[in-house]
Amino acid sequence: MSRKQRDKRGAQGLAIQVSPHRTVELSPEQDRKAQRKAERRWRRRKRLPWTLAFLFFFMLDIAAAVGLYSYIFLSNNNAQLRLEDEEAVLEVLEPTIDPAEPFYALILGIDTRGNTKGSRSDTIILARVDTVNQQVILMSMPRDTKITIDGHGYQKVNAAYAFGGSALAVEKMSELCEVPISHVVVINFDGVEDLVDALGGVTVDVPPNTMVDNVWVPSGVQTINGEQALIFARCRLQYARGDLQRADNQRALVAAVAEKILELPVTQMPDVITTCCSFVSTDMSVQEIIELAMHMRGMDPDNIISCVAPVYSSYENGISYQRLYWDDFEAMMDSIRAGENPNE
């Protein structure tokens, strides 16, 4: 419509038929307002495709940025998590076939204190993980338990890691416990201090006489910091039960850390995983760890069951061993395989 036509129309007004039997006369002012409203609507329609295009590409940019960050985060952390003997480990691990079925994981604690070569595994824990029923059973194998290793004769079970890394440790524990092991986690206790501090401390029951290098940890149920957690995990000589008490402490620490991690908001998971990657090695990827944590969120702490293999002390050819009470051990493993509390 030309300006002249609009002026003429504005002077005369406009008649609008609102029904077959009724016509409404618009004043010149009402007509101009209707015209401006129609023009604004037309301009908005014209801008809409461009607005939608801008939003589309903006969202693509955000998705790309998040994807790039996720790729870098996962790639870097997956690289750090890799085991030194990954190829050998994958040959002895038994992959899980049904994700709904419980699986077994071997947790090895290495107390290197700055020296990684030829280290023995001071912590040996077999974990049965049931994601459907949200249950974890932790069974410690005393590190001095007597076994045989091809080419090395009689040895303590913690020597398997020194002779053949995590692959041989998995192989010997799988034979000893007669269960397929699907995953292995190697923890360097030098890094436990940083993890516990990152979690804001963990709550455990500290036995009396817990001390390393003249640094004491008060006894009783309490929240301990990273330095105290390291003492709690290392102390042995001050206990009447020696290594058996230390094994109890280490299982309690693993359970307390797991419980605290599962309580974290999802947004804090990346920071915790990054901290763990500095002292943890495993065959599992970051994605698998996160999925497992999601399955176990909300788990009842009472569903983390702890036990130790029944052993007695034996002194042979100048060497102190622990020997398994085989009948009791087999009964314990029967309970563990059935998902039952072996302490009952």
Instruction: Give the domain ranges of the chain.
Output: 3-63, 92-337
Per-residue tokens: 76: 């870097």
Task: Say what the pLDDT of residue 61 is.
Answer: 40
Is domain 92-337 in CATH 3.40.630.190, yes or no? yes
Q: Mean pLDDT highest for which of 73-87, 105-119, 167-181?
A: 167-181
**272, 264 Cβ separation under 8 angstroms:** yes
Q: Strand 183-188 and strand 103-110: pairing?
A: parallel
Cα torsion 197, 201, 205, 209 to 10°: value is 40
Nearest to 106 by CA among 87, 82, 89: 89
By the 8 A CB rule, do 169 and 163 touch?
A: no
pLDDT at position 67, please? Answer: 39
Q: What mean pLDDT comes out for the span 280-291?
A: 83
pTM for the whole structure = 0.75
Amino acid at 90: L
8-state DSSP, 145: B
pLDDT at res. 94: 93
Phi/psi for 249 (5° steps) reads: -60, -45
Higher-pLDDT residue of 158, 122? 158
Q: Average pLDDT over the chain, rounded to whole?
A: 79
